[in-house]
Structure 1
Amino acid sequence: MTALVCALMFFVTPTLLWIVGVRPTEIENHKLASFPSLGDGWKFFTGLPGWATDQLSFRSGAISAADGISRGLFGEGAPLDQAPPPVAGPIPGATPSTPKNAPSPQGSPNSQAGYRRVVQGVDGWLYYGYDAEAKCAPSRPLADTLSRINTLRQAVESSGRKFVFVIAPDKTTMVPQKLPASYPDKDCSQPKQEADWAQFLAAGALDLRPELKKSEGRVGRPIYPPNDTHWTDEGALVMARDVANAVQPGVTQTWVSTPTRMYDVNADLPPLLGRNEVKTLQEYTLKPDGAVDRGGLSNGDIDKPVYRKTSPLVGTIDKRTLIYGDSFTKASSRYLPGGFTNLTMLAHYTSKTTQEQAIDEFVNAEVVVVEAVERSVSAGQLTFIEDGFLNAVRAKLEEHPIG
């Protein structure tokens, strides 16, 4: 009887609370888990805890109370982020799902008690813990990762297409001055960071760091927000300019950008600590010919191909271009179409687009730009370097050369 009563409360309580208007809220950068299907077999039972946890209507208040008590008694936030990160990563493009048959990280702090997903820096700054771990516990040697990227480059270029590989720097790389004096993997990751970048550049990666630093100097502040892993609009403009110049040198000489309005969007790191916060960003125009504004709206989703077509202007590239990227491409999607008249943006970590569909976008392009965040490259966690993808894209491009 006790078991039956507990089971009844387990299933009915969230429903009763929903009826009287109490709703659970998303507080951890992922959609609330849906009730598992009876058709899932044993996964029905393993999926129940996640559903039940997400349906706790007062969970957000409980987390805030726990954090407040911890700060009041111990002078530091509650260790709410010590649990292992979700397989797919709390931040798009951060810790991607491991491709089938790909090697798993050995000795990764992800699986060790006490691992912190968020590093709390000085002056309230937050950093993603995986930035350091990725360099110290990679899934595969960096030389192997870069060799595979070069294989993709050769497949694209031998088919008559242009290839650009661009790496979005980690926030820890660009704003190290706000890191705490001590944090997990510091002694390992700091020297590894410089060594990794030397290998990135030797492999032909586009280096955004110099222009990011120049932009930071112009605005007089870091161009990564204190509470988010991604760059601000200033960083997005740097990516748009540098990628366009890599495709067609000098094309951005006529570009003009001016600030317009401030706007708020949700920050991605506070939810890992049980909090909800926004980041405040400066929006800009992007006038490739100095007159017509081609800055647009940011795309909330590039899990499926996003197409942007406009008429040619001075300062634009009139070639079919694919930008195959991650969350930094999405964060830059307001400005990337400004430099290209026929642009496709697509995420390489997505379950909404099949491998065959993604490869079709390679075939349809004259220019292929592959973007990945530094931590994913250092860790070797990139779906497009797996043998299955490389072999398939190479075969398809050989069948459809251009020239």
Structure 2
Amino acid sequence: MLRHSCLVLLALSTTTLAGCGGAASDTDRTERTRPAAVPSPTLHTASAPAPTVVEGRDGFLFFGADFDLSCGSGQTFDRDLEQLGEVASTIAASGREVVWTVAPDKSTALVDRLPETTPHDACFRDNQRWQEHLLGEVTEEHYVDSLALLRSADEAGEQVFWRGDSHWTSYGASLWLRELVERLDPTLAEQLVVTEGTAERTGDLYVEAGSNDVEEARSAAFATGATVEAVPDGPVFDPGRDEWGPLQWRSRPAEGLHPGRTLVIGDSFSYAAIDLTMPLFARGDFAWFQYFDDEELAAQVAAADTVVLEVSQRTLTHAQVAQEPFADAVEKALSD
């Protein structure tokens, strides 16, 4: 369903240069104890942004903004990660079910495929290791460590990211979704049938590099016996026309699926996995968060029974859902 991969790159690239500058340290925040083996994040002023596409090893291409944003945003990553966890805790305290994750950058999940020298080399690598450490140390009970899941599968020889795209393969996304279902609905998880195959794609990084190569990778799909259909007269959701009402669906028959109304708040990683996601939920909404204001998103949270929250690593430090105004809007919407 991810028909317009170039659009994802364009949407992200508007924030790239802002992420390259040095981030001021937060003097109001208590310094956390950092293990000696994990470098502290460093201040950095880039002389120029990384190339849009960075060539790595074994035919893997990487999104240049990963390197810019990692360097420029390292100083606030811990604060924003903690804030996102607090949003999840607030939703859970309201009686709703919630699961959340930070989808790791390809450049973090596949560090052994990076070139020997990366853009902003020392700054990128120090900040990347610090962010990796933080992602593995989250203690909020509704968090799923997607990085650990993807790393484990990669080490077992599975392809969890496209070589020519900045996103996970459907097989990679299925690892996060299987864990999500285990958390929300163990009975559904036991009955879930996973159908594996292969998929073809001309990835966003291939396109940006001027190539029309078609890549094949392992795929996964969930068979639940349900047919997915659009909610009649729902708001428009069409990335091709840049119209971003929530994507709304029903899965029928709903028996055995996760019940109630499920809201998936996410970005391009959630969108890349949306075809996998839909058959799991009896009634669903997907909101690509950067296209809604805080109050609109908070109102959708209040209307949901279950909330799935995904933010990609590269966007965490400028994602509204990891900022205090959104947390305040959610708290207000849930208390009204």
Q: TM-score, normalised by structure 2?
A: 0.76
Partner of 1:280 in structure 2? 216
Structure 1: distance between partners of 2:167 and 2:160: 9
Tell me the alpha carbon deviations over residues 194-225 of structure 1, each in whole angstroms, 9 at most, x when there is no partner. Answer: 4323323325331123433454467x442211
2:287 aligned residue (312, 334, 346): 346
Partner of 1:155 in structure 2? 90
Tell me the alpha carbon deviations over residues 102-139 of structure 1, each in whole angstroms, 9 at most, x when there is no partner. Answer: x9653488963363222111243211122233222107
1:252 aligned residue (177, 189, 205): 189
2:327 aligned residue (382, 385, 390): 390
Structure 1 position 202 matched with structure 2 position 138: yes
1:271 aligned residue (180, 203, 207): 207
Q: Please, what is the CA RMSD of the aligned residues?
A: 3.3
Greater Rg over alpha carbons, structure: 1
Q: Which runs of 5+ in 1 are unaligned?
A: 1-26, 31-88
8 Å contact 1:285–1:293 — kept in the other structure? no
Structure 2: distance between partners of 1:28 and 1:332: 13
Structure 1 position 361 matched with structure 2 position 300: yes
* Aligned ranges 1:2-401 → 2 under 5 Å: 29-30=6-7, 90=9, 94=12, 97=15, 106-107=21-22, 112-113=47-48, 115-138=50-73, 141-200=76-135, 201-204=137-140, 205-216=143-154, 220-249=157-186, 251-260=188-197, 262-288=198-224, 292=225, 301=239, 303-310=244-251, 311-314=253-256, 316-350=257-291, 353-377=292-316, 380-399=317-336
Structure 2: distance between partners of 1:154 and 1:28: 33
Change (3 A) 1:105 1:180: closer
Structure 1: distance between partners of 2:286 and 2:190: 24
Change (3 A) 1:125 1:198: closer
Structure 2: distance between partners of 1:295 and 1:383: 30
Structure 2: distance between partners of 1:28 and 1:346: 17
Give 1:187 deviation, angstroms.
2.6
SS in 1 for 2:275: coil
8 Å contact 2:195–2:220 — kept in the other structure? yes
8 Å contact 1:322–1:361 — kept in the other structure? yes
Tell me the alpha carbon deviations over residues 232-262 of structure 1, each in whole angstroms, 9 at most, x when there is no partner. Answer: 11012112211122223464122221235x4
SS in 2 for 1:225: coil
Structure 1: distance between partners of 2:254 and 2:5: 42
Change (3 A) 1:195 1:338: same
Structure 2: distance between partners of 1:189 and 1:238: 27
Structure 2: distance between partners of 1:174 and 1:139: 17
Give 1:293 deviation, angstroms.
6.1
**Code of the aligned partner of 1:373:** S
Give 1:322 deviation, angstroms.
0.9
Structure 1: distance between partners of 2:58 and 2:204: 18
8 Å contact 2:200–2:215 — kept in the other structure? yes
Work out the percentage of aligned pairs sharing the same amino acid: 22
Structure 2: distance between partners of 1:230 and 1:295: 24
SS in 1 for 2:194: coil
Partner of 2:38 in structure 1? none
Structure 2: distance between partners of 1:150 and 1:223: 25
SS in 2 for 1:269: helix
Partner of 2:35 in structure 1? none
Greater CA deviation, 125-134 or 201-210? 201-210
Give 1:146 deviation, angstroms.
2.4
**Code of the aligned partner of 2:282:** T
**For this pair of structures, how many residues does the alignment match?**
299
Structure 2: distance between partners of 1:347 and 1:149: 16
Give 1:392 deviation, angstroms.
2.2
Q: Which runs of 5+ in 2 are unaligned?
A: 24-43, 231-236
Higher strand proportion, which one? 2
8 Å contact 2:195–2:221 — kept in the other structure? yes
